[in-house]
Structure 1
């Protein structure tokens, strides 16, 4: 089982295997002739929008690339920026954070930039509103009128009454829902006491002996909190059947994962993306990546005043308005706008 990292990490200069779409990841749009203004100014590249992340790579040297997961992105806006290819123009601006805060700026021609902006915003919003497909959720609004609120494309395969949650010193009785995307347990006495566990975050499903007797134990990934959740279902035969059913659905799910982010794509876009996927492999080879080189590619994107690939800020300039030496203002900024308090 491959851990889902594509939507949760920011990675620089990744290998071909990491650039390829994982199962459940789909192209949504490809934008040509896009410049990575901060890290690769003057370099023409392609921006790939998927349902999990943004990928930018240089056309001339595809091993120079970025992978930006939507979970790391803080917002998606536009900003006036200065670039080597287009001078000062409107660009896609994305502040992001993993262990460090970064800023990414992508510039295209005047006809492509608006479409690039609206596409990325739409996909980012769709990602943010579909987290139950990918994230473990405790105490969520999962039930309405005693029924599980189904996600798009979700089907309930089994409903088990009298399932005990063994998370406390004493068990809590509730109802177990087994679907094609996740398993959900809800307490009978308090519907707000519940847990939703998507298959994408499950490591294993086993039956173990406990102080409450034999129980089904679901272990989750480190990304989702590394939980070990126990459930008891009587009789033992029913417990074994339920565990086998979840194990089977878990295996089926990973053969064709449903990860949410449903975006309608035209026939032309689908054909373009299939063509791109078929020609990408010859263009990039893992053998081209020299893993012995210590890359400082990420330095360019730090949100701390760096202006280029490892280059320091420009020398200070004299400001007549302040009568002081100051750092040169970035394109699109004025002293008045920096001092203005909204």
Structure 2
């Protein structure tokens, strides 16, 4: 039985120029945020691109060219924001296979803090959820004789009287089988324990040992390549445990739980929805006591008004429509002015 880690590279490597297939999310990977107008300032200065934030990695890709830069959360050493000229930029220092890379991402459209809040917050959630993904020895796993459950973790079986065969005499302890890992701890010393996520299990089988048949778990090379033996009596119980672990491992492999739970707050609306047509300035003309501005402004032929006969205006020297009683030319100029 090979671990899902065989195919899982998304949070372990820094890769460049990946294919469109490699950009797709894998089972258990969730897209958390998508940021447009982001520039890879150090690697592709002046080239506008898009930054994708998932629970395992961040991906930057150019919008104009098929180049893709990729940076995984598991490789991040430092993630800070700095002022670059008049614009704040996100500096990310990574280390992969003993090689260091520095990335500088700049928001081409300033004013949005999501470039920093999304990446830094998700990276923090990744760092604080390593128990889902990493093999741990002598960790704080047990409290009041019970397993300290992780969010979304469920215990499917608890087996008492399990011997850890790491020493010549063995240590008697308790076995927990959950939906994300296997945990064993010594009954006499709860701090003597091991947590093995399904993500780090390379193989699990029943083998013969000097103590008789034992459940042997081999961890991945990334987790140290440990070979851990556990003796469970009787043999029927041992076989049932193997069958249950294999079943849960298969379910986990189909839809892994990586433990990085982060939900974005209400996302800003698109610019098109935030942009509204600005209405013209409202100008209110206050007529004097003898002038009705609405009556004056109604054009000839309007259904609210009948045409009036033309008369000659000596003041203007041309023919105009006869004014209503009580209106003067001076009064009209004052209103229209």
Q: TM-score range by the shorter chain?
A: 0.7 to 0.9
Name the SS of the counterpart of 1:12 in structure 2.
coil
Whether 2:66 is the aligned partner of 1:67: answer no
Residue aligning to 1:291 = none
Superposed CA offset, 1:26-75 (max 9, x none): 1000000110000000101100000011100001123x112211121112
Residue aligning to 2:11 = 7
* Deviation >3 Å, runs of 4+: 265-269
The answer for unaligned runs of 5 or more in structure 2 is 271-337
Residue aligning to 1:236 = 235
Alignment of 1:199-218 (within 5 A): 199-218=198-217
Alpha-carbon distance, 1:226 to partner? 1.2
Superposed CA offset, 1:157-209 (max 9, x none): 00000001111222111000000000000001111110000011112210011
The answer for unaligned runs of 5 or more in structure 1 is 83-87, 273-342
Indicate the structure whose relative CO is greater, using CA pairs within 8 Å and at least 6 residues apart: 1
Whether 2:77 is the aligned partner of 1:79: answer no
Superposed CA offset, 1:251-274 (max 9, x none): 0111111101111246879xx9xx
Alpha-carbon distance, 1:210 to partner? 0.8
Alpha-carbon distance, 1:3 to partner? 3.5
Larger radius of gyration: 2
Residue aligning to 1:111 = 111
Q: TM-score, normalised by structure 1?
A: 0.74
- Counterpart Cα distance in 2 of 1:241 and 1:147: 22
Residue aligning to 2:140 = 141
Alpha-carbon distance, 1:5 to partner? 1.8
Whether 2:33 is the aligned partner of 1:35: answer no
Name the SS of the counterpart of 1:132 in structure 2.
helix
Distance 1:149 1:25, change over 3 A: same
Name the SS of the counterpart of 2:114 in structure 1.
helix
Aligned length: 263
Alignment of 1:1-342 (within 5 A): 1=4, 2-62=6-66, 64-81=67-84, 88-98=86-96, 99-108=98-107, 109-112=109-112, 114-265=113-264
